[in-house]
Amino acid sequence: MRRIACLACAPLVAFAGAARADEPASPSTKPDTTYGRIDGYVELVVGAGAVFGPGSPRAALDFRARYLQTAGLFLTYEDGATFGSSAETARVIAGGVEIRPLFVARWLEGHEWGSPRADLLLDSFGLELGGYFAQPHGGSFGDQPGLQAGLGLEISVFARASGPWVGVHGGVRWSDTGLSGATQSGATDRAMYLSITLSWHQVVGDREVDLSTSPP
CB 66 within 8 A of CB 203: no
215 lies in some domain: no
Write out the residue range of the structural domain in which residue 39 sits. 32-204
214 lies in some domain: no
The pTM of the full predicted model, rounded to 2 decimals, is: 0.77
Per-residue pLDDT at 54: 79
Q: What is the pLDDT along the chain (216 residues), one digit of tens a residue?
A: 444 344 444 443 343 343 333 334 444 456 788 999 999 999 999 999 999 987 778 999 999 999 999 999 999 999 987 776 565 678 899 999 999 999 998 988 888 888 999 999 999 999 999 999 988 776 777 678 999 999 999 999 999 999 999 999 999 999 887 777 665 556 678 889 999 999 999 999 866 666 654 444
CATH, residue 138: 2.40.160.20
In single-letter form, the type of residue at position 172 comes to V
209 lies in some domain: no
The CA distance from 38 to 134, in Å, is: 37
198 lies in some domain: yes
Per-residue pLDDT at 207: 64
13 lies in some domain: no
The CA distance from 134 to 51, in Å, is: 13
CB proximity list for 127: less than 8 A, separation 6 or greater: 98, 99, 100, 101, 150, 151
CB proximity list for 99: less than 8 A, separation 6 or greater: 70, 71, 126, 127, 128
User: How many domains, the chain?
Assistant: 1
47 lies in some domain: yes
4 lies in some domain: no
68 lies in some domain: yes
